[in-house]
């Protein structure tokens, strides 16, 4: 399939920086092509050793996850690999959950978000970094979107005995954010589920960046 644009197109045209990476983090920028706005997540500016190992692996992992989740509302659409070092997908206008005040979030937002995460699980993928509120968007239409599949795992390549634990890590992230932003809408059965998950020691070491797959871009 023909790619919507190439690295050469990026060289000649202006783009907006979304985030500048350090070490193992990609640079993210917006690129406009006709009517469409794209995000380019680019590991090319990383030091050569990082770029050729970690960067390649991360770009491919994110691309494969987005392919697997294609068509689900709230997942960035039209993902493609620009080259071995950069993954691109459509920009979704909105604000991150971290930046969004609770009163600007619809009452049904977290119900939709839980549904989105369950749809992802049905396709045999776990995200594993849902506790990070920079990975969740409140779109301009007030709907949830999930970003950043660098830490995701394809359950088809993971021992079955771990599936429930891994899905629970995601669900605990959904309910933790729900409890922080809209506590009045977190009903007693979901709250009890969150509390029981929080007591499980095996989840503790995974809080924050899971599986040691990320370095923090901000100090
Ligand atoms: N498809 C998208 N639409 C709109 N904004 C996006 C999109 N993808 C990423 N962003 C913005 O870029 C930020 C960083 O994206 P992402 O989490 O994928 O990169 P990262 O390298 O993991 O950064 P961080 O360390 O901040 O999590 C997001 O918090 C969001 O503000
Ligand atoms: Mg992120």
Query: What confidence score (pLDDT) does residue 206 get?
Result: 58
DSSP 69-123: TTT-TTB--S-EEEETTEEEEE---EEETTTS-GGGS-TTHHHHHHHHHHHHHHT
Residues with CB under 5 A from ligand 2 (ion): 135, 148
Query: What confidence score (pLDDT) does residue 209 get?
Result: 46
Radius of gyration, CA atoms only, the chain: 17
pLDDT along the chain (219 residues), means of 10: 91 87 90 95 94 96 98 98 98 98 98 98 97 97 98 96 94 96 97 90 57 47
Domains and CATH numbers, the chain: 7-90 (3.30.200.20), 94-212 (1.10.510.10)
3-state secondary structure of 194: helix
Beta carbons of 40 and 85 less than 8 angstroms apart: no
Question: Does ligand 1 have an atom closer than 6 angstroms to the CB of 59?
Answer: no
Beta carbons of 209 and 151 less than 8 angstroms apart: yes
Looking at ligand 1, which atom is closest to the CA of residue 94? 4
| Cα angle for residues 150, 155, 161 (degrees, 5° grid) | 125
**How are beta strands 125-126 and 16-19 bridged, if at all?**
unpaired
Query: What confidence score (pLDDT) does residue 174 get?
Result: 97
State in Å: Cα 133 to ligand 2 middle.
8
Q: Which of 126, 34, 33 is nearest to 82 (CA)?
A: 33
DSSP 127-193: ---TT-GGGEEEETTS-EEE---TT-EEGGGS-GGGHHHHHHHHHHHHHHHHHHH-GGGS-HHHHHH
Beta carbons of 175 and 186 less than 8 angstroms apart: yes
Choose which residue among 78, 98, 147 to substitute to test ligand 1 binding: the one with the highest number of ligand atoms within 8 A of its C-beta. Answer: 147
State in Å: Cα 162 to ligand 2 middle.
24
51-100 per-position pLDDT tens digit: 999 999 999 999 999 999 999 999 999 999 999 999 999 999 999 999 99
Looking at ligand 1, which atom is closest to the CA of residue 89? 1
Looking at ligand 1, which atom is closest to the CA of residue 218? 25
Beta carbons of 137 and 97 less than 8 angstroms apart: yes
Q: What is the DSSP letter of 35?
A: T
């Amino acid at each position: 399939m023909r790619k919507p644009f190439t690295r050469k197109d990026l060289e000649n045209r202006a783009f907006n920086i979304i985030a500048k990476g350090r070490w193992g983090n990609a640079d993210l920028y917006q690129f406009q092509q006709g009517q469409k706005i794209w995000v380019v997540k680019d590991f090319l500016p990383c030091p050569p050793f990082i770029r050729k190992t970690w960067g390649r692996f991360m770009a491919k992992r994110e691309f494969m996850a987005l392919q697997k989740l294609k068509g689900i509302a709230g997942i960035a659409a039209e993902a493609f690999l620009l080259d071995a070092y950069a993954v691109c997908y459509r920009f979704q206008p909105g604000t991150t959950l971290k930046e969004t005040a609770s009163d600007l979030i619809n009452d049904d937002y977290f119900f939709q978000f839980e549904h989105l995460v369950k749809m992802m699980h049905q396709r045999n993928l776990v995200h594993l970094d849902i506790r990070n509120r920079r990975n969740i968007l409140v779109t301009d239409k007030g709907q949830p979107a999930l970003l950043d599949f660098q830490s995701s795992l394809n359950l088809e390549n993971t021992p079955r005995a771990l599936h429930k634990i891994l899905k629970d890590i995601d669900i605990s992230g959904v309910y933790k954010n729900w409890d922080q932003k809209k506590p009045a809408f977190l009903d007693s059965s979901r709250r009890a589920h969150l509390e029981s998950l929080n007591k499980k020691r095996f989840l503790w070491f995974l809080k924050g960046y899971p599986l040691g797959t990320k370095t923090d871009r901000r100090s």
